[in-house]
Structure 1
Amino acid sequence: MDDNDPNKLVQCPYDKNHQIRSKRFPYHVLKCRKNHPKLASELKTCPYNARHMLPKQELAYHMEICENKISQDQDTQDAGNADRNCQWHVPVNTSVNPNMTEDWEEEVDNNAAPFVWGVNTTSNQQLKMTPNNRSCRAPRTLPWNDKP
């Protein structure tokens, strides 16, 4: 069986009698962790594969030999090859602002009236918003003809 097979049986780290399908393992572990809080406090999760749960004292050794660990040398080599083989490159923005003298602080309108909800600043009249007087109203004419 393949390691990526979703129907592969995996043993529960909390109860050795539990055999769970690989695709259900994350859900089962959460449920079983609640049922075994003492054991859950003693187990740590491998940073390379969340399905690897080990006692705290064994974690350091496991991290050195974990089959899912990718060496840093291989990772940097793969990154170099990926740059050469990649068909998709993000374009570098080389545009330059043509107006380097632009100053937004200088353009500020300090004499503008402040915004106040319900106040019409153009005519200085206060708008009355009541349930019967809404700013939205139904159109007086319909966009289609009544004639067939």
Structure 2
Amino acid sequence: MLRCVVTMAFFVTLTVVTSVEAKSDAQDFWSRFRQAVLSGDSDRVAAMTKLPLWVRGPDDSDPVMYYGRQDFARVLKRLLNQEVSFLKDGKVISRTMLEVIKEKRNLSSKDLQVPDSLSVELFYFQKVVGIWVFTRGYLEDGSD
């Protein structure tokens, strides 16, 4: 019985430590990604992106488009200038993705619901082979 309790306590502790490490790792990536976006350095953002970047509209039926390095700066500009609406303090607020990124200094548990994946509004990120990368973006106007 005691061995069972000790084993369970070990796994609970391991889960908490792993969660804290994952959040710290994700926060470090987010800070670097955010700084690259805010400085307007699309090459640096591209270096933190799994290319070709997966982009589609908001509906499941919207076609997926892939953007390589050659088209990356153009699609990044569109993604950043896109407006998103969300509820804040009971009010509907609209911001561009660039404004969202500027305001979001720290990730929350809502952003990082699983250790290897995070999302910030219309941007999705994954940890691939131990490295965080920008993997998906959504455009309201999915047309090119």
Q: Which entry has the higher C-alpha Rg, 1 or 2?
A: 1
- Of structures 1 and 2, the one scoring higher in RCO (CA 8 A, sep 6+) is 2
TM bin, normalised by shorter chain, reads under 0.3
Higher-strand-fraction structure: 2
TM-score (norm 2): 0.23
TM-score (norm 1): 0.23
Higher-helix-fraction structure: 2
